[in-house]
Amino acid sequence: MIYFEKRLAPSRATTIVTPILAVILTMIAGGIMFAALGKDPFEAIRIIFWDPLFDPNFADYSRPQLLVKAGPLILIAIGLSVGFKAGIWNIGAEGQYIMGAIFGAAAALSVYPTESALIFPAMIVAGAFGGWLWAMIPAVLRTKFKTNEILVSLMLVYVAESILASVSQGLLKNPDGYGFPGSRNLQQYPSAFNEEVFTNSGMHWGVITAFIAVIFTYIMMTRHIRGFEVRLMGEAPKAAQFAGVSTTRLIVFCLGFSGALAGLAGMFEVSGPAGQITIDFNSGYGFTAIIVAFLGRLHPIGILLAGLLMALTYIGGELAQLMLGLPGASIQLFQGMLLLFLLATDIFTNYRLRFQGAS
């Protein structure tokens, strides 16, 4: 008989080993799936995980893309992880991301074509504010009326998408754009352009902000009383109350923090890689970041690695579609497997496997 036995204390080593195990299991199961699709599984895995970084034909293009894609994922996931630690579930980062982009772009476009060194900092503030404001709606509704922040934040994503569609055809539409929907391209507005800091590295200001957020959050969670309160609220809400932690303030902080970071991610995206506000500007970073947060075990360093891994499967997946003609859905399935195995192996943190003859 095989059974699970509860560990006396959660194992720290398995916390590190299980994500690696999950990646290996995903490769095996994914390989079987690719073989069933009639492709060489080893080649497919190599194209997804190896070629984007090291193949001379693709690496020049793919390597910068890794940071371009990982940056927003990490930035959003870091913000979400703080709330998740406290048991406050912001599922609407996608909406906050959109609002950050709109606010950031609007700040620049409102003074177009003035050039000033103050414009980009102002956009950063506006982007963070837009995301924060959008997250304050579920925060206020939760603290004042006890609504469920999961539902409210999620529904607000669709509101934000409608606002995005509206402003790209109206308020922020490019007057010189021959009637096409979409704003002016910020890449052509020097004061507002979120340029690469190092040429051809993919490292734009958003990526740097993401790294800063990782370090900041790591210090906050391990050393600062606010991080302690967040963890305490997640571990034992009644103990947090006994400690004197204000639930209201913590909810506002967690939702506000994650909203502001998601807003920043949106602003850096619209002023850099995307360039303009369009109807289909958002591409699901806000939702994928939820997976990244859990893949990284809600730990800042883990999230950094998980964000890079997730970006790699995106880029490698696109490459595999191109090179092997794999259907797009199989790549999504592959990413889904990753999350599934991750959650499945999570049980080993608290339980150990035992083998015993039937008794």
Partner 1 sequence: MSDTLLEIEGLTKAYPGVVANNAVSFKINRGEVHALLGENGAGKSTLVKMIYGLVKPDSGTMTLNSGIFEPDSPNAARAAGVAMVFQHFSLFDALTVAENIALGMDNAPKPRDLAKRIREVSQAYGLPLEPNRIVGTLSAGERQRVEIIRCLLQNPKLLIMDEPTSVLTPQEVEILFTTLRQLKAEGTAILYISHKLEEIRALCDTATILRHGEKVDTCIPAETTARDMAEMMVGASFANPVKADRVIGATLLSVKSLNSSSKEPFGTSLRDISFEVKAGEILGIGGVAGNGQDELLAALSGEMRTAPATVQFRGKNIGDLGPTKRRKLGLLSAPEERLGHAAAPAMSLKENSVITAARRMGLLASGFVNWRATNDFTKNVVSEFDVRTPGTDTPAGSLSGGNLQKFVVGREVLQRPEVLVINQPTWGVDAAAAASIRQKLLDLADKGAGVIVISQDLDELLEISDFFAALNEGRLSTTYPTAELELDQIGLMMGGSHGAGQEAHS
Q: Which residues bind to partner 1, rule: CB under 8 A?
A: 5-6, 8-10, 223-226, 228, 231-232, 235-236, 238-239, 241-244, 246
Nearer to partner 1, 36 or 353 (CB): 353
Helix axes 247-271, 205-223, angle to 10 degrees: 160
Q: Which residue intervals of 272-299 are DSSP H helices? A: 285-295
DSSP per residue, 18-72:
HHHHHHHHHHHHHHHHHHHTTS-HHHHHHHHHTHHHH-TTTHHHHHHHHHHHHHH
Q: Which is nearer to partner 1, 9 or 117 (CB)?
A: 9
3-state secondary structure of 121: helix
Q: Which C-beta is closer to partner 1: that of 110 or that of 350?
A: 350
DSSP state of 355: E
User: Of 74, 13, 107, nearest to 307 (Cα)?
Assistant: 74
Residue 67 and residue 356 in contact, taking contact as beta carbons nearer than 8 Å: no
150/220 with CB nearer partner 1:
220
To the nearest whole angstrom, how small is the minimum distance from the Cβ of residue 194 to partner 1? 32
**Cβ proximity to partner 1, 100 vs 234, nearer residue:** 234
- To partner 1, the closest distance from the beta carbon of 223 in angstroms equals 5
Give whichever of 188 and 248 is closer to partner 1, judged by the CB atom.
Answer: 248
Min. distance of Cβ 125 from partner 1 in angstroms?
23
Nearer to partner 1, 200 or 246 (CB): 246
Task: Check if the beta carbon of residue 26 is closer than 8 Å to that of residue 350.
Answer: no
Q: How many CB atoms lie within 10 A of CB 253?
A: 19
Of 198, 330, 200, 209, the residue nearest 261 (C-alpha): 209
Taking the least distance from each CB to partner 1, the nearer of 46 and 352 is 352
Biggest CA–CA distance in the chain, Å, is 80
Distance, first Cα to last Cα, the chain: 8
Tell me the C-alpha distance between 330 and 315, whole Å. Answer: 14
- CA proximity to 48, closest of 314, 307, 306, 327: 314
Q: How many Cβ atoms sit within 10 Å of the Cβ of residue 170? A: 9
Q: Cα(53)–Cα(69) distance, rounded to whole angstroms?
A: 14
CB of 350 to partner 1, least distance (A): 10
Question: What's the CA angle centered on 325, arms 320 and 326, to 5 degrees?
Answer: 65
Output 148 or 248, the one with its CB closest to partner 1: 248
